[in-house]
Protein backbone atom coordinates (compact mmCIF):
# COMPACT_ATOMS: atom_id res chain seq x y z
CA UNK A 1 0.00 0.00 0.00
CA UNK A 2 1.20 3.42 -0.89
CA UNK A 3 0.49 4.99 2.47
CA UNK A 4 2.68 2.39 4.20
CA UNK A 5 5.55 3.10 1.87
CA UNK A 6 5.05 6.78 2.43
CA UNK A 7 5.17 6.48 6.19
CA UNK A 8 8.32 4.33 6.01
CA UNK A 9 10.12 6.94 3.93
CA UNK A 10 8.83 9.65 6.25
CA UNK A 11 10.24 7.75 9.19
CA UNK A 12 13.56 7.36 7.42
CA UNK A 13 13.58 11.08 6.77
CA UNK A 14 13.05 11.79 10.46
CA UNK A 15 15.75 9.33 11.46
CA UNK A 16 18.27 10.74 9.06
CA UNK A 17 17.45 14.30 10.14
CA UNK A 18 18.00 13.21 13.75
CA UNK A 19 21.30 11.59 12.86
CA UNK A 20 22.49 14.65 10.99
CA UNK A 21 21.44 16.87 13.88
CA UNK A 22 23.52 14.83 16.31
CA UNK A 23 26.58 14.12 14.17
CA UNK A 24 29.71 16.20 14.69
CA UNK A 25 30.58 18.65 11.95
CA UNK A 26 33.83 16.84 11.22
CA UNK A 27 31.94 13.67 10.28
CA UNK A 28 29.34 15.51 8.26
CA UNK A 29 31.98 17.30 6.22
CA UNK A 30 33.84 14.07 5.54
CA UNK A 31 30.69 12.22 4.46
CA UNK A 32 29.49 15.05 2.26
CA UNK A 33 32.88 15.36 0.60
CA UNK A 34 32.97 11.65 -0.13
CA UNK A 35 29.42 11.62 -1.52
CA UNK A 36 30.09 14.63 -3.74
CA UNK A 37 33.15 12.89 -5.14
CA UNK A 38 31.15 9.98 -6.58
CA UNK A 39 27.81 11.64 -7.27
CA UNK A 40 27.99 14.40 -9.87
CA UNK A 41 24.33 15.32 -9.46
CA UNK A 42 24.71 15.65 -5.73
CA UNK A 43 27.85 17.70 -6.19
CA UNK A 44 26.05 20.16 -8.44
CA UNK A 45 23.10 20.43 -6.10
CA UNK A 46 25.35 20.77 -3.10
CA UNK A 47 27.34 23.58 -4.73
CA UNK A 48 24.22 25.42 -5.82
CA UNK A 49 22.63 25.02 -2.40
CA UNK A 50 25.72 26.23 -0.59
CA UNK A 51 26.00 29.24 -2.87
CA UNK A 52 22.34 30.06 -2.33
CA UNK A 53 22.56 29.71 1.43
CA UNK A 54 25.70 31.84 1.52
CA UNK A 55 24.03 34.51 -0.56
CA UNK A 56 21.47 34.86 2.21
CA UNK A 57 23.61 34.10 5.19
CA UNK A 58 27.11 35.27 4.19
CA UNK A 59 30.12 33.04 3.80
CA UNK A 60 30.62 32.93 7.54
CA UNK A 61 34.15 31.63 7.88
CA UNK A 62 34.78 29.17 10.65
CA UNK A 63 35.42 31.08 13.85
CA UNK A 64 38.97 30.77 15.14
CA UNK A 65 38.18 29.35 18.54
CA UNK A 66 36.54 26.18 17.30
CA UNK A 67 38.94 25.57 14.46
CA UNK A 68 40.03 21.97 14.31
CA UNK A 69 37.62 20.84 16.98
CA UNK A 70 34.39 19.11 16.40
CA UNK A 71 31.73 21.40 17.41
CA UNK A 72 29.08 18.82 18.10
CA UNK A 73 26.14 20.91 19.06
CA UNK A 74 26.14 22.58 22.41
CA UNK A 75 26.22 26.32 22.14
CA UNK A 76 25.65 26.48 18.39
CA UNK A 77 21.90 27.04 18.36
CA UNK A 78 22.04 29.30 15.33
CA UNK A 79 20.53 26.83 12.87
CA UNK A 80 19.42 27.71 9.37
CA UNK A 81 16.07 26.64 8.01
CA UNK A 82 17.07 25.60 4.49
CA UNK A 83 14.54 24.21 2.02
CA UNK A 84 14.65 23.08 -1.58
CA UNK A 85 12.04 24.89 -3.60
CA UNK A 86 9.75 22.53 -5.49
CA UNK A 87 9.12 25.14 -8.16
CA UNK A 88 12.68 26.03 -9.15
CA UNK A 89 14.53 23.18 -7.42
CA UNK A 90 16.90 25.60 -5.71
CA UNK A 91 17.93 25.91 -2.10
CA UNK A 92 16.61 28.83 -0.09
CA UNK A 93 16.58 29.93 3.50
CA UNK A 94 13.20 30.36 5.13
CA UNK A 95 12.60 33.84 6.57
CA UNK A 96 15.16 35.32 4.19
CA UNK A 97 13.21 35.08 0.95
CA UNK A 98 11.55 38.43 1.39
CA UNK A 99 11.70 39.65 -2.18
CA UNK A 100 10.34 36.58 -3.90
CA UNK A 101 13.52 35.33 -5.54
CA UNK A 102 11.92 32.30 -7.16
CA UNK A 103 11.77 32.13 -10.94
CA UNK A 104 9.46 29.38 -12.08
CA UNK A 105 6.95 28.28 -14.67
CA UNK A 106 3.41 28.27 -13.31
CA UNK A 107 2.09 25.91 -15.98
CA UNK A 108 3.22 22.37 -16.82
CA UNK A 109 5.88 21.26 -19.25
CA UNK A 110 4.56 19.17 -22.13
CA UNK A 111 6.05 17.25 -25.04
CA UNK A 112 6.31 19.33 -28.19
CA UNK A 113 5.72 16.80 -30.94
CA UNK A 114 6.69 19.25 -33.64
CA UNK A 115 10.21 19.71 -32.22
CA UNK A 116 13.07 18.52 -34.42
CA UNK A 117 14.47 16.27 -31.68
CA UNK A 118 11.51 13.91 -32.06
CA UNK A 119 12.01 13.41 -35.80
CA UNK A 120 12.09 9.68 -36.40
CA UNK A 121 11.31 8.93 -32.75
CA UNK A 122 9.44 5.62 -32.52
CA UNK A 123 8.22 4.97 -29.05
CA UNK A 124 8.25 1.17 -29.50
CA UNK A 125 12.01 1.43 -29.99
CA UNK A 126 12.98 4.70 -28.39
CA UNK A 127 10.69 4.54 -25.40
CA UNK A 128 8.59 7.18 -23.77
CA UNK A 129 9.16 10.78 -24.73
CA UNK A 130 8.29 12.33 -21.41
CA UNK A 131 10.89 11.03 -18.99
CA UNK A 132 13.05 12.98 -16.52
CA UNK A 133 16.14 12.07 -18.58
CA UNK A 134 14.63 13.35 -21.82
CA UNK A 135 13.47 16.53 -20.14
CA UNK A 136 17.03 17.14 -19.10
CA UNK A 137 18.93 15.90 -22.14
CA UNK A 138 16.52 17.08 -24.85
CA UNK A 139 15.04 20.31 -23.50
CA UNK A 140 14.14 21.40 -27.04
CA UNK A 141 11.58 18.62 -27.18
CA UNK A 142 9.41 20.19 -24.50
CA UNK A 143 7.47 23.41 -24.05
CA UNK A 144 6.05 25.14 -21.03
CA UNK A 145 2.38 25.85 -21.54
CA UNK A 146 2.67 29.17 -19.69
CA UNK A 147 5.17 30.83 -22.01
CA UNK A 148 5.83 28.39 -24.87
CA UNK A 149 9.54 28.23 -24.00
CA UNK A 150 11.63 25.04 -24.01
CA UNK A 151 12.46 22.97 -20.91
CA UNK A 152 15.77 24.72 -20.31
CA UNK A 153 14.26 28.22 -20.25
CA UNK A 154 14.46 30.15 -17.00
CA UNK A 155 11.20 30.64 -15.17
CA UNK A 156 8.89 33.18 -16.77
CA UNK A 157 7.27 34.17 -13.46
CA UNK A 158 8.67 35.59 -10.22
CA UNK A 159 7.38 34.53 -6.85
CA UNK A 160 8.33 33.21 -3.46
CA UNK A 161 10.20 29.96 -3.05
CA UNK A 162 7.97 27.18 -1.77
CA UNK A 163 8.90 23.94 -0.04
CA UNK A 164 7.18 20.60 -0.60
CA UNK A 165 5.57 21.01 2.81
CA UNK A 166 4.10 24.34 1.72
CA UNK A 167 2.73 22.66 -1.36
CA UNK A 168 1.25 19.77 0.63
CA UNK A 169 -0.39 22.03 3.19
CA UNK A 170 -1.91 24.29 0.55
CA UNK A 171 -3.24 21.20 -1.23
CA UNK A 172 -4.74 19.99 2.04
CA UNK A 173 -6.36 23.38 2.52
CA UNK A 174 -7.79 23.24 -0.97
CA UNK A 175 -9.13 19.75 -0.37
CA UNK A 176 -10.74 20.78 2.90
CA UNK A 177 -12.38 23.70 1.17
CA UNK A 178 -13.64 21.45 -1.60
CA UNK A 179 -15.11 18.87 0.77
CA UNK A 180 -16.62 21.63 2.92
CA UNK A 181 -18.38 23.11 -0.09
CA UNK A 182 -19.58 19.62 -1.06
CA UNK A 183 -21.11 19.11 2.36
CA UNK A 184 -22.81 22.48 2.27
CA UNK A 185 -24.27 21.62 -1.13
CA UNK A 186 -25.78 18.40 0.16
Decide: 131 and 124 in contact? Cβ < 8 Å: no
Q: Least distance to Zn ion from the beta carbon of 13, Å?
A: 21
The residues of the shown chain that bind Zn ion, judged by CB under 5 A, are 85, 87-88, 102, 105, 144, 146-147, 156, 161
Minimum gap (Å) between residue 147 Cβ and Zn ion: 3
Diameter over CA atoms, the chain = 68
- CB nearer to Zn ion: give 145 or 175: 145
Taking the least distance from each CB to Zn ion, the nearer of 142 and 144 is 144
Q: Mind giving me the DSSP string for the chain?
A: -HHHHHHHHHHHHHHHHHHHHHS-HHHHHHHHHHHHHH-HHHHHHHHHHHHHHHHHH---PPPGGGTTS---STT------EEE-TTT--EEETTT--S--EEE-SS-EEE-TTSGGGTT--HHHH--S--HHHHHH-GGGEEETTT--BTTSPPSEEE----HHHHHHHHHHHHHHHHHHHHHH-
Q: How far is the CB of 14 from Zn ion (least distance, A)?
A: 24
**Cβ closest to Zn ion, residue 53 vs residue 85:** 85
- Residue 118 or 161: the one with the smaller Cβ distance to Zn ion is 161
Least gap, CB of 163 to Zn ion (angstroms): 9
Cβ 145 to Zn ion shortest distance, Å: 8
Closer to Zn ion by CB, 82 or 146: give it: 146
Amino acid sequence: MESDEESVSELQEVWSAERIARAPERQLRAVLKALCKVDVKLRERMTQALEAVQSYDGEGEESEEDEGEDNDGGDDEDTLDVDICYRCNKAWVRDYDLHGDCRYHPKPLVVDDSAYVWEGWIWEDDGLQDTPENRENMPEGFRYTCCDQTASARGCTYGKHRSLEDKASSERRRQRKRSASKISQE
